[in-house]
Chains A and B, each alone.
Chain A
């Protein structure tokens, strides 16, 4: 699947690399798509989406990530027009679309079950949005062939969806959402039904097409790795509210609250009490008696309870050549051999467990259950969140 080798590699028809419709007026703040205080209730009693705000730039790849039932699909359905907005506004290219019928929104959508029409061939499926737009026959044919080549399925036009593999169906669904050059593509867990290997391949494929064609994507997934590798920005959802919306690296390194720290990747949490805060750094006394320096998260107050979060790969066991400015003594519980690394489990004084990932090299310590060890880390790798 090397883009460079593919003979049919193409530029966007209009020569720009921007998605969809070439010249669209943008929002005052430069956003192409904005959600403004969007709320949604299905039962007129509880809000499923509470005050959702998000600005998306043209060409961005935004992922909505969050636990099941947090309202991700609901947001997507409101954007596509299949669910009404209870209050608030959705603005695309400077125009409110909350009252626009779904078929007038010009938004491409990839469904989890692909929703390829089973009674039409692949070529007919791809031609459908073009025929709806009354494009002439020859042009439809050319465009369909072009997109079949784009997804590298040139010879599959005459087959029916039932005769394709999962990954092939996925690619057709993607091509069908792209073929009418919508300004926006929505994907609701498009890779959920694929196995791991195929999923990685398709992630690559989607990223490639996104870079090549430059459309704007709103993507929903459960899979963190998928979100981290593909997105320009990730909006972490919980309980109908966006907890944080940031680029993958920032989300991972600098989570803005304990939920995000816990939800994205693996994390250790140690409860403590804040002594004082100076210049964004907090001095925290942990239950075992040690004093730790950590970055203070927003909303942290001196004298209040807090939780410290440290990623397992940022912790080291003394002796170590790594620099450190925090140290904590803990009791070794057990360790698991994973292959390229070893996972150590420690107990901090009052029963909080800590996990450490240690590279499986010569420096890996040899510990027995009950041994005491000193765990060390850098203050900048550790964040204190309000408890």
Chain B
């Protein structure tokens, strides 16, 4: 009998063969992999870094920060340290970068912008040697604010390259003076916005489920002629532009829109209802837009459930409704959870529809992220808000996996 083990030659050639296969397989996925790294992994990584890393101040005044390192933060910093800052400020004035510094420090200590700008103008005309010997006094002469430890503290804090500040802001918290974390004064803008976002997403998920489940059931069990036609209607939203669909809701819901005209025309309401630019319109339009994401996974799962299961249950004496709850519903769970997860996650991060029809009431977290990126130019805060959103979704997914099992998702 020939031995079944491979000899050295065979092993080498088998290895070569395997390597070749792996290489071909890699070449097949390489384009997509590259694209993913470029378009997905890299941006998320940048976002995560951005949310904690802010090296602007530390690059502008590295020597001052070095000199302030041993300062206890209670009294004024030592004169030498202030002199180093004076020299730095003069240099910045020369390089026309003092404005940038002023802007950064102002964020930590509102009102300090003018102090820094004015002092920079004065220091720009001074002599280097003079600044080195009596920089602190010169600063104090330029603006009394330099005699207050507060501004120095602000400079030192802003100089940290890595900062949790943006996360704290995103959670409506701030650093307490004595260290530690405390809630920020005033309204909890971001936390409220997160809860509102989750609530809206939940409404939408429930509504798509209520609308989608029976329809998917009908589609899966109808004659193919009817089912195909209805399927076109389900898919229609995918084929028309998102913008068109959203604006069509504007046409429907606005004060002089179709719905109001009908309601007032029929005498049901006396004056038009305010429906547009509310949370209601956001939920309504997004339910419409996300409906296919609920129907399609449900449909694909239901299509695979043979009618004989329900028949078997009934032949054993079960009434239709208990049979549905005990047999059919559990069997649709993979599609149900896929649909719920899909709709919920998509709606949590949705931007365009709330932006167009949401008004102030219907804004979601993505809208505020966009605001910080486009208008307030605070990319770091936007990144922190985005990272928190990502973390939230990952947590939800983890919870789902714990209780339902991610292996149960069936998309098609």
Contacts and interface: CB of A to CB of B under 8 A. Distances in A.
Contacts of B327: 117
Given A115-B311, A117-B309, A106 B317 contact: yes
Contacts of B331: 117-119
Interface string A81-109: 11000000000000000000111111111
Interface string B303-330: 0001011011111111110110011001
Which of B306, B313, B314 has the most C-beta atoms of chain A within 10 angstroms of its own C-beta? B314
B306 A115 contact: yes
Interface string A173-184: 000110010000
Contacts of B317: 103-104, 106, 129, 132-133, 180
Interface of B: 306, 308-309, 311-320, 322-323, 326-327, 330-331, 333
A101 B314 CA distance: 9
Interface string A112-128: 11010111000000001
Contact of B306 (A113, A119, A180): A113
Contact of B315 (A109, A113, A119): A109
6 contacts: A81-B314, A82-B314, A108-B316, A115-B311, A128-B316, A132-B317
Interface of A: 80-82, 101-109, 111-113, 115, 117-119, 128-129, 132-133, 176-177, 180
Contacts of B319: 103
A331 to B, nearest CB: 53
Given A118-B331, A119-B331, A111 B311 contact: yes
Given A115-B306, A118-B331, A108 B315 contact: yes
Contacts of A119: 330-331, 333
A74 to B, nearest CB: 14
A102 B311 contact: yes
A73 to B, nearest CB: 11
Nearest 10 interchain pairs by C-beta: A129-B316, A115-B312, A109-B315, A115-B308, A111-B308, A103-B314, A102-B314, A119-B330, A132-B317, A132-B318
A65 to B, nearest CB: 21
A109 B318 contact: no
B309 A115 contact: yes
B318 A103 contact: yes
Contacts of A118: 331
B314 A113 contact: no
A98 B312 CA distance: 19
B316 A176 contact: yes
